[in-house]
Structure 1
Amino acid sequence: MRRAAALIGWVALSAVAPGAAHLRAGWKRTGYALLGGYLVVAGCAAVVIANADAGLAGRALNWLTQITVAAAACAVAWFSLVIHSFVVLRPGTLTRAGQVVTGLVCGALAVTVAVPFALAAQYVAVSQRTIDTVFAEPAAGMRGGPGEAGDPWTGRDRVNVLMLGGDWGDNRIGVRTDSINVASVDVHTGNTVLLGLPRNLEHVLFPPGSPMAVRFPYGFQLPESKPGWREDLLFSVWQYADDHPELFGGRRHMGPETLKETIGYILGIRIDWYALVNIWGFAKIVDALGGLVLTVDRDIVFGKYGEGVVPAGTRRLSGADALWYARSRTGSDDYNRMRRQRCVFNALLDQADPATVLSRFTEMAAVMRKIFQTDVPRPMLEHLVPLAWKVKHAEVTSLQFVPPLISTASPDWERIRLLTAKAIRRSASPAHRRHRLSPTPQPVFSPIDEGCGAV
């Protein structure tokens, strides 16, 4: 059995130092070639890893097919290497029992070393399918690609992304954007302002000259569909535009672009892209992450008849509980709900660590393909990955346009724009200068986790 143990040892060594078993067996030319090639590749990989950053991760999104092929090839190569190392050591000279034992052990070893490469190939292939499904190639003339001289932001200091939570589904008609936030991101520092608008904003004004402004010159106003039932609030803009292609010369599916232009006009900024998540699928994402740890400051009652409750306290919430915590208006209002949605967003930002995401990657990718839509062009992902990394390590503040800051029934549009501009200037200012900014009577700029409790 000593010879069998030695054979297994040499094969195991070959799994981490290719060529060792071949040198032992006298296959010197093959052994040195394998070992030398391995050292060159390992050295190059070490240099790449040592210099890797979020920018490299972004560029890697353009090489997903090549990475998948390379990982699959490595899986086959390492499996074949272990098997060939076993063969060149002449296991036939062992006793029958020794041949059986060494064969089983080395076969298991071959599978073990191939599995990580096979999993990597699978994860990369799943990533490519998800990206290709969610992110479309930009149409000719559409903005969103790299700017002049390789500047992806075309000389701009900020990008603004409209983040929406909608509730479309097979058993529901249309899309209602119940959660409306704009992330204004400093492309240099990652400092971000989260601008929240209430879903029940009335008399919404549209950009002058736009089809919606022509139709509603004095603001978005419709007759009640039934007593007390309003369909002319901010959350209905998307669906109204989708339902009336005649306003847009027959063009269909104008809801996203109309809402982007409308929100941009309200805030006084340009909205670059939107991202819409189906809030009914949000629970599946949370479950895929293993739940979210949240501090619930009071019992949150939910359900048509108040039959459910998310108890107060700090705990790990399931996807369903996190969804109801973010959505319930029972015994509450839209503004308290906006605060809770902000707390959930912050928890996702903090708790979606790479290890958790990787361990549940396939499940999360399958869910994302069904519940997520955006107009972010595929080529921009290369640049958004390093920007997202900056955001995760930068200051994220929040400005929520809720009473008493503004009136949802009679909004002061100029005040909204002025406060938006001030929040963006504050975010762009160096930290040591922020105390010099003139104070407001009310602390409207706050950390994103303010009011969320300690976790």
Structure 2
Amino acid sequence: MSVIGWLLLSAVVPGAAHLRAGWRKTGLALLGCYVAGLLALLWIVLSTDNLLGKLTENSWLTTITVTAAVLGAVWFGLIVHSFVVLRPSRMAQGGQILAGTLAGLLAVAVVLPFGVVTQYVWVYQKTLNDVFVNDPVERQVQAPVSEEDPWAGRDRVNILLLGGDADDNRIGVRTDSMNLASVDAKTGNTVLISLPRNLEDVRFRPGTPMAEHFPTGFRLPPDPGGGRSDLLNSVWEYADAHPELFGGKQHQGPQVLMDTIGYTLGLKVDWYALVNMWGLARLIDAIGGVTITVEQDVVFGKYNEGLVKAGTRKLKGADAMWYARSRTYSDDYTRMRRQRCVLAALLDQADPATVLTSFNKIALATKDLVKTDIPRPMLQHLVPLALKVKNAKVTSIQFVPPLINTGSPDWDKIRTIAQKTIRTSANPPAVAMSPKPAKTPDPTGSPTKDLSEGCGVT
């Protein structure tokens, strides 16, 4: 069965079978093209700056899709022709049938990797186009001016990460989870600033329609049931429901909430990403679950019928979401901490190998998971920045009692602490090296902590 052996060699070294059969010029030409292709690929990888960022561009993705499809057809033809030049007709009839069958299977097998690449890239490209803004938008926040300085001199990129409770049975969107990720554009060091959903008397930037309508803060009459619809988590919904405040413009909720949180923290919010909480559950299922230490039993459900048991184990999406969202026998601030723990687990456990092996499931979940105003062209710069964050220092701060009084917030204090935390993240103090750092209270009284700090601790 030397024919099959030479075919197998030709699948990885094109031209080998032709050289064996005496087709010297053809064999050398095929081998030369193969080596030239490998060198060209190596040159592209080594010479292209920000390669991962480039792989978010439609032109690159289309080129890869077409190239993979063409190479698949070429490799199929190569195996077939290699089989022919090896003259299997000289074999006995039984050998011809066996060799022909194996050659056919090999021809199909060599096409499969190219088919997988084509399908993955097509799904990836479609997902990016579905999720991110493709058309130019009016609010291009300090758009990048060059490849050398994609952030146009900015030191930080501020993205508002929102967890929404949108549902088929619920009108509007309440943003029950609000975290601002402020990322150092050079180092990737990140501060995750969490604001509670029940922040009252929210102030709006002077001169805006919401500030003119609520000059002393966001305040509405109590709901018939005694609840309130004028908390921070209602700003998006209220703005969407009252286009008359904005000259009839529809869907102003995202912009109003970004501007409001930016004003509250003394920052400029660049973009937002709204994550449907149950869409996040599908994403967690797509990567096979997340390992979390549940510090104590978490009860959930309309009749308290659900339970996420205490212990360290891998949680499926639904259990992870109930762990993050339940307030039964708990409160908003404990829930905020648990949400931070889920984010930390995702950041730590969604490694490249996991993403690759679950690619299609992740892409499908992402399409229904995220709503954002991040412009599509910015992805080529945000992808390498996200990789920096993966290996950088991520600290967090939560504006919850006793740090602040959510019923009567000290806005100057919130702004001052946020600015100080960001400055510290950008210029961390030098720490003396020691085998076992002493666990003493921070003399500065800083409310910041590592993203995973406190996770799994009662």
Shorter-chain TM-score: which interval?
A: over 0.9
Tell me whether 1:116 sits opposite 2:146 in the alignment: no
Q: Which position in structure 2 is the counterpart of 1:225?
A: 223
Whole-angstrom distance in 2 between the partners of 1:434 and 1:57: 36
Whole-angstrom distance in 2 between the partners of 1:283 and 1:408: 29
Whole-angstrom distance in 1 between the partners of 2:247 and 2:138: 20
Q: Which position in structure 2 is the counterpart of 1:411?
A: 409
Tell me whether 1:132 sits opposite 2:102 in the alignment: no
Instruction: Identify the match of residue 331 of structure 2 among 327, 330, 333.
Output: 333
Q: After the TM superposition, which residues 351-362 of structure 1 pair with which residues of structure 2 at under 5 Å, given as runs?
A: 351-362=349-360
Whole-angstrom distance in 1 between the partners of 2:114 and 2:203: 55
Q: Give the SS at the match of 2:55.
A: helix
Whole-angstrom distance in 1 between the partners of 2:363 and 2:161: 19
CA contact (8 A) 1:75 1:113 kept: yes
Instruction: Identify the match of residue 448 of structure 1 among 423, 448, 451.
Output: 451
Q: Which position in structure 2 is the counterpart of 1:420?
A: 418
Q: After the TM superposition, which residues 72-151 of structure 1 pair with which residues of structure 2 at under 5 Å, given as runs?
A: 72-139=69-136, 141-144=138-141, 145-147=143-145, 150-151=148-149
Whole-angstrom distance in 2 between the partners of 1:142 and 1:447: 33
CA contact (8 A) 1:180 1:197 kept: yes
Instruction: Identify the match of residue 292 of structure 2 among 294, 304, 325.
Output: 294
Q: Which position in structure 2 is the counterpart of 1:245?
A: 243
Whole-angstrom distance in 2 between the partners of 1:37 and 1:259: 56
CA contact (8 A) 1:426 1:434 kept: no
Q: After the TM superposition, which residues 304-383 of structure 1 pair with which residues of structure 2 at under 5 Å, given as runs?
A: 304-383=302-381
Q: Which position in structure 2 is the counterpart of 1:18?
A: 14
Q: After the TM superposition, which residues 206-285 of structure 1 pair with which residues of structure 2 at under 5 Å, given as runs?
A: 206-285=204-283
Q: Percent identity?
A: 58
Task: Report deviation, 1:362.
Answer: 1.2
Q: TM-score, normalised by structure 1?
A: 0.95
Task: Report deviation, 1:201.
Answer: 0.5
Question: Which is worse superposed, 241-250 or 349-358?
Answer: 349-358
- What root-mean-square deviation, in Å, do the aligned CA atoms of Structure 1 and Structure 2 show? 1.8
Whole-angstrom distance in 2 between the partners of 1:427 and 1:364: 31
Tell me which amino acid in the other structure corresponds to 1:199: R
- The change in CA–CA distance for 1:430 and 1:138 in structure 2 (over 3 A counts) is farther
Q: Which position in structure 2 is the counterpart of 1:157?
A: 155
Task: Provide, for residues 357-386 of structure 1, a one-character-per-residue CA deviation record: whole Å limited to 9, x for no partner.
Answer: 111111221221122110000010000011
Whole-angstrom distance in 2 between the partners of 1:196 and 1:416: 11
Instruction: Identify the match of residue 66 of structure 2 among 61, 66, 69.
Output: 69
Task: Report deviation, 1:46.
Answer: 3.2
Task: Report deviation, 1:94.
Answer: 1.2
Tell me which amino acid in the other structure corresponds to 1:41: G
Task: Provide, for residues 2-51 of structure 1, a one-character-per-residue CA deviation record: whole Å limited to 9, x for no partner.
Answer: xxx11001111101110011111121111111000101111232344456
Task: Provide, for residues 423-452 of structure 1, a one-character-per-residue CA deviation record: whole Å limited to 9, x for no partner.
Answer: 1001100452799xx966634110000011
> What are the ranges of 5 or more consecutive residues in structure 1 without an aligned counterpart?
none
Higher helix share: 1
Q: Which position in structure 2 is the counterpart of 1:8?
A: 4
Task: Work out the number of aligned pairs and report it.
Answer: 447
Whole-angstrom distance in 2 between the partners of 1:107 and 1:159: 54
Task: Provide, for residues 234-280 of structure 1, a one-character-per-residue CA deviation record: whole Å limited to 9, x for no partner.
Answer: 00000000000000000000000000000000000000000001002
Runs of 4+ in 1 over 3 A off after TM superposition: 46-53, 438-443
Question: Which is worse superposed, 300-309 or 239-248?
Answer: 300-309
Question: Which is worse superposed, 261-270 or 276-285?
Answer: 276-285
Whole-angstrom distance in 2 between the partners of 1:224 and 1:167: 21
Task: Provide, for residues 172-225 of structure 1, a one-character-per-residue CA deviation record: whole Å limited to 9, x for no partner.
Answer: 111010110000000000000000000110000000011111111111111112
Q: Which position in structure 2 is the counterpart of 1:56?
A: 51
Tell me which amino acid in the other structure corresponds to 2:448: F
Q: Give the SS at the match of 1:185.
A: strand
Whole-angstrom distance in 2 between the partners of 1:387 and 1:423: 20
Whole-angstrom distance in 1 between the partners of 2:330 and 2:392: 32
Q: TM-score, normalised by structure 2?
A: 0.94
Q: Which position in structure 1 is the counterpart of 2:438?
A: none
Q: After the TM superposition, which residues 182-221 of structure 1 pair with which residues of structure 2 at under 5 Å, given as runs?
A: 182-221=180-219
Whole-angstrom distance in 2 between the partners of 1:271 and 1:223: 30
> What are the ranges of 5 or more consecutive residues in structure 2 without an aligned counterpart?
434-440
Question: Which is worse superposed, 248-257 or 351-360?
Answer: 351-360
